[in-house]
Copies of this chain bind each other. A is one copy, B any other.
Amino acid sequence: MPGSENVGGVMLVTKFRIGILGATGMVGQQFIRLLDGHPYFEVGHLFASDHSAGRRYGDVTRWSVSASIPESIGELTIESISEIPTDDIDILFSALPSDIAESVEEDAARAGILVFSNANSHRMKDNVPILVPEINSDHIRLVAQQPYGRGFIVTNSNCSTAGLVFGLYPLIPFGIEQVVVTTLQAVSGGGLKGVPAFDILGNVIPHIKNEEAKMETETKKILGQFTKNRIEPLKTDINATCTRVPVLNGHLESVSVTLKEEISIEEAVQQFTQFESGIMDLSLPTAPRTPIVLVDDEDGPQPNKHLLLPEDPLGMAIKIGRIRRKSKSLRFLLLVHNTIRGAAGASILNAEYAYAAGYLEGVSA
């Protein structure tokens, strides 16, 4: 258990021992930034592809998510994902590309490690939750069905999905018949080098490979019911169009929802603002105070203006604005910080929740 103990007058702080898979990329860097000084977790191992392995993290990494690498991290030696020292790691946060994530994460789980993954390899598997603690915390119970013994794999969703589910969940009581969503996604969603400047400067690319299918299936699973040891996906019709825009950070989503029951704008506002997640009492370090922030700006939410707010300095809250209504259809815009709430922050929050919910008992720290 993380904690501090007074041993002969010396305060000993114990934290879970953390490794990061895919530590040099955009999401890997965000893991490192967000875990710097974390009260439960202490980063001890960084993993990347073989051609970086053996070299100093600070020498290899094109650090891009803030002014400078946390000092202690820069000195670490990058290790190969093919030689994970499982005895020295309690938790692995994974930012691996999907094509290699599958087996690496399984092997780690089999070795007893708790894997919190941002990769999509396992998301749609029956015994793997796509966990969003504020929305479907009970889905974590799926890990009991995983064949890994003490270890397990918990995933978080795709970055655009991470926003959409907060826009839809408070409306479920009114019956969601159909969702039409168009996203305007930031270039950081493609990773450090994923989107070439020549393609996107002054342009929009109205296609992001596989993204629309991910949004449609993941959203239904996240919003589904956990019953009889399985998840029954939400029955609704979701239609996504995903575009890339010349924005650094922050996915904006134009959402249109057709409801079974008519709902006034006031009721919608109430549903969003009074949304209370079951996890508020746990005071998890990375949980936003208010998971949904209504933006009081007729021109918002905007990536450049509303991504980080005084009441949400980490970027974990979803911002919603411009709620409009026409009979049974409701339209609004939402903004999600794609590499925080939509990636590294989501994995970390999942791990914090797992700890609070007792799923880390028996793990060394």
Contact indicator A203/B303 (Cβ below 8 Å): yes
Number of residues of chain A lying within 8 A (CB) of chain B: 55
B-contact 0/1 string along A197-210, CB 8 Å cutoff: 11111111111000
Is chain A's binding surface mostly helix, strand, loop or mixed?
A: mixed
This chain: copies in complex: 4
B-contact 0/1 string along A239-277, CB 8 Å cutoff: 101010111100010101000000000000000000000
Contact indicator B204/A306 (Cβ below 8 Å): no
Using a CB-CB cutoff of 8 Å, which residues 299-323 of chain A contact chain B? 299-306, 308-310, 321-322
Contact indicator B204/A245 (Cβ below 8 Å): yes
Q: Which of A114-122, A158-166, A185-193 contacts B (4 or more CB under 8 A)?
A: A185-193
A248 and B197 CA atoms in complex are apart in Å by 8
Q: Which residues of B contact A204 (CB under 8 A)?
A: 184, 245, 247, 252, 302-303
- Contact partner of A299 (CB less than 8 A), chosen from B188, B207, B309, is B207
Q: Which residues of B contact A237 (CB under 8 A)?
A: 326
Q: Which residues of B contact A239 (CB under 8 A)?
A: 256, 326, 329, 331
Contact indicator A254/B247 (Cβ below 8 Å): no
Contact indicator B198/A321 (Cβ below 8 Å): no
Rounded to whole Å, the gap between the CB of A20 and the closest CB of chain B is: 20
A348 and B312 CA atoms in complex are apart in Å by 29
Rounded to whole Å, the gap between the CB of A252 and the closest CB of chain B is: 5
Rounded to whole Å, the gap between the CB of A289 and the closest CB of chain B is: 15
Contact of A60 with B by CB under 8 A: no
A311 and B329 CA atoms in complex are apart in Å by 40
A248 and B333 CA atoms in complex are apart in Å by 23
Q: Which residues of B contact A254 (CB under 8 A)?
A: 182, 206, 241, 243, 254
Contact of A279 with B by CB under 8 A: no
A305 in contact with B203 given A241-B254, A245-B184 (CB within 8 Å): yes
Q: Which 10 pairs between the two chains have the least Cβ-Cβ distance?
A: A182-B182, A203-B304, A202-B202, A182-B254, A187-B197, A193-B196, A195-B197, A180-B180, A197-B197, A241-B254
